[in-house]
Amino acid sequence: MSVVGRLAPTPSGHLHLGNVTAFAAAWLSVRSAGGRLLLRMEDIDTVRARAYVEDGIREDLRWLGLSWDAEVPRQSVRDYRLAIEALRPHTYRCTCTRAQIKAAGGRYPGTCRDAGHVEGALRLRLPDGPVHFVDRRFGPRDVDPNLFGDPVLVRSDGLVSYNLAVVADDLTDGVTEVVRGADLLDFTAVQLHLWRWLGEREPTWLHAPLVLGPDGAKLSKSHGSTEVRALREAGWDPARVWRTVLPWLGLEPVGAIGDAVARFDAGVGARGPVVVG
């Protein structure tokens, strides 16, 4: 099967060096395999400033040389009803309130599993036990997806969750490799159940190192200075971005992403978080 990867930005904010690191890994993995790279806007949970942010993301990707072969439909125009229907044997409705779950220690105890509710949030009935998978950088992992209890797939107001949307989309789009930031590493355990119940195949997994701000916190909107557009305004060129980011992926600090393709090796580079200097 030929390789299909994707860049899946969430258009709630502009690209920062953490996104760039994950997208560089996704781009290099596909390009070094002669595969096809898709762009998908993951806007299921994003209502703010979408068009403006999305255009900014495409502009930043082009500036960096992170080319994509096709853009597939954004999440907000997709229909997840078939996936929800297919998961019916593995789901149930839950009417617990946030306060009730908090009182139970934050981990949903499965109260509604056999209650037969016909409304409420749709939860996944997770089987017991850890899920085994092999990450191309982090190696073999055994993660218990039950750490937080049965996950919500569809909120009571109808909003489809990240876990369901990303797996349904990757199946629809023919994605064969998932490459993303290490902040999502443990979500793989939940998502593997969804892959097994929705599809007849599984993707490969590669998690790029987490990038932390100078304050040691995960990059977010409060780290505006690590956004690609801020760096550009501060006089950085793409070569400087690549000389900064590529070593985090275990690569020579060359000034163009295309020049790193031949040496790409998913298994090398940082596993622990890297801190922006």
Site string for ligand GLU, 118-157 (x = CB under 6 A): ----------------------------------------
Q: Would you count residue 204 as binding ligand GLU (CB under 6 A)?
A: no
- Contact partner, 227, from ligand GLU, Zn ion, none, Cβ < 5-8 Å per class: none
- By CB under 6 A, is residue 95 in contact with ligand GLU? no
Spatial distance between the Cα atoms of 216 and 222, rounded to a whole number of angstroms: 12
Applying CB under 6 A, does 193 fall inside the site for ligand GLU? Answer: no
47-55, 105-113, 186-194, 229-237 -> range binding Zn ion (CB under 5 A): 105-113
* Span near Zn ion by CB under 5 A; candidates 50-58, 92-100, 166-174, 256-264: 92-100
User: Which of 214, 119, 100 lies closest to 157 in space, CA to CA?
Assistant: 119
* Span of 78-86, 96-104, 149-157, 201-209 interacting with Zn ion by CB under 5 A: 96-104
The least distance separating Zn ion from the CB of residue 112, rounded to whole angstroms, comes to: 3
| 184 touches ligand GLU by CB under 6 A | yes
- Which pair of structure tokens corresponds to residue 262? 């031949």
